[in-house]
Amino acid sequence: MFRKIVKMNILLVYPNINGQFQIQMGLASISAVLKQAGHRIDLFDTTFIVSGSFEEVSVQFMKRFDEVLAKFKEKVSSSKPDIILVGIRSLEFDFATKLLREAKTNLPVIFGGQHPTVSPEEVIKSDVADYICIGEGEEAILELIEKLESNEDVTKINNIWVKKDGKIYRNPVRPLMKNLDELPFPDWDIFDARHVSTIGKFETSRGCPYSCTYCINSYMQKIYGGVGGYHREKSIKKTIEEMEQFLKKFPQVNYIWLIDETFTLNNDRVKDFCEQYKEKIKDKFNVKFGCMTRPEVLSEEKCQYLKKAGCVEIAMGIEMGNETYRVEMLDRKMTQQSIINAFLMAKKSGIKTYSFNMVGFPNETRKDIINTIELNRKGKVDEIQVTIFYPFKGTSLRDFCEENNLLDLPRNEVGSYYEKPVIKNPNLPKKEVMGLFRTFTIYCKSPKIFWPFIKIMEYDNLVSINLSRIANTFIKQGFKPKAFGIFFDYAYNNVLKVPKLLDKLTILI
């Protein structure tokens, strides 16, 4: 499918300001396609320049920007690329443009990924952008690279917008690749081995068929003409072959995570996958796996297939505990009881459960957040993730925020889902949202007799903030040596250096 041509040197850039440790699958796939076509690929990856917890790493990027910039210049100098390709999500755009602007490489730059897709005008008008790729990029970026190499016209490539001679050429998207089996295996080798560690990440399908209002998938469905064409599946055979090759290359891996948003969508497909996985992966490599799905597409039968095949964790979104709000505002049409039943069903099958939750939705109330906490408690969720709602461009909930003058976005700041609310809410002050964000898991995991004490941790002062961090550490890690190590490391760097804080803690206790 991909014709081999004269080589170009291409530098991929991964501005990973949220500290995601796993391989970035989009760049891995693009790299594999370009390498298969004969190009030389290098990667500048910020992950291990600035590392830390998700909650803290994004703030550190701006504090240590000069260090990142120096390393980027070194990489450009040693790699000698002909072109730079940057993959960005929305929260990475400001950082990436600042990096390129100050590096002054004088090289052509392609932007691809989520943010150019949902906000193409903003990205193409950036002073550091020459080309942007909208939507899936394997075929489009390869076509662009080939035509640049052969000095052909690049202004009419579907999915590609071009800025040339003061004019912007805006092209429509091409039909989605239907047969995902035609893609080569992702290029794992381009990433630092620390990205792999003991976990492998795989996709068995692309595109979620649902339309949650806070998610980019609804926008992707619109630009590609509907739900039916956006969700596509790899063959189980190709997926298993990819896993086998990966595990032979990285024998230390003992866990596989499936990144499909709704893995259990189709009963027959789940059964087929589980049978092949058990035979060719679990029994041969002794590697277990986890997956994501939605409560309404999980069943006892699917849980039995998953458990037998070696599934040890299922992650599902709760997001919001107010059923009316969830259905009408988030377009998540599931009942309270169906959510509870799904988590209990997985737990009954012996599979660990993990929930996704958000706080800080438009016009959300304190009671709504408490209801979200209650759903986690009733579902007896094992592990809980909570993030702060962010109004991503291209989503209908972003449109709602704009129409109702709720946006309160900082300018030129690195942000994350863990940093602070970015919308105005007449029902809930930002400080209260942050307090509930910090204590969300503590409320979920603690007997209600302790709730009055937990409320103290919601307060916006150093004592309460540090108490909540300590409590969250021990809830997540348990009373193990690792937890004590995390606690003492945090205490040394953040508590002991604060004057009189220990005196305040002693008085409070």
- Mean pLDDT in order along the chain per 10 residues (509 residues): 65 88 90 95 90 60 82 94 94 91 94 94 95 95 95 95 95 91 94 89 91 89 72 94 96 95 95 97 96 96 97 97 97 96 97 97 97 98 95 92 90 58 94 96 94 93 89 76 54 50 41
* pLDDT recorded at residue 241: 97
Euclidean distance between CA atoms 317 and 217, whole angstroms: 15
pLDDT of residue 476: 79
Q: pLDDT value at position 417?
A: 56
| pLDDT recorded at residue 54 | 54
Residue 42 DSSP symbol: E
- Residue 256: per-residue pLDDT: 96
| The pLDDT value given to residue 58 | 60
Letter string b/e over residues 99-127, b meaning 16 or more CB atoms within 10 A of that residue's CB: bbeebebeeebbbbbbbbbbbbebbbebe
What are the DSSP E strand ranges found in 360-451? 383-388
Report which of 163, 466, 214, 245 is spatially closest to residue 362, judged by C-alpha positions. 214
**In the prediction, which pLDDT does 65 show?**
84
Domains of the chain, start order: 9-169 (3.40.50.280), 205-389 (3.20.20.70), 444-509 (no CATH)
pLDDT recorded at residue 29: 95
At 506 the pLDDT is 40
Question: What pLDDT score does 475 carry?
Answer: 84
Residue 167's DSSP bridge partners are 164
The residue type at 83: I
pLDDT number for residue 359: 97
* Dist. CA 434–CA 440, nearest whole Å: 10
CA distance 477 to 493: 19
Distance from C-alpha of 342 to C-alpha of 58, rounded to nearest angstrom: 34
Q: CB-based contacts of 461: which residues, under 8 Å, 6+ apart?
A: none
User: Would you say 196 and 253 are in contact if contact means Cβ atoms under 8 Å apart?
Assistant: yes
Q: How far is CA 158 from the centre of its chain?
A: 26
Q: From CA 24, how far away is CA 218, in angstroms rounded?
A: 22
Instruction: Say if CB 43 and CB 9 are below 8 A apart.
Output: no
pLDDT at 62: 67
- Which of these, 61, 27, 29, lies nearest to 44 by C-alpha position? 27
CB 386 within 8 A of CB 441: yes
Which of 51, 5, 43, 1 has its CA nearest to residue 24? 43
Residue with tokens 């259905």: 327
Taking only Cα atoms into account, the Rg of the chain, rounded to an integer number of angstroms, comes to 23
Q: What are the respective helix, strand and coil percentages of the chain, to the nearest 5?
A: 50, 15, 40
Amino acid at 209: P
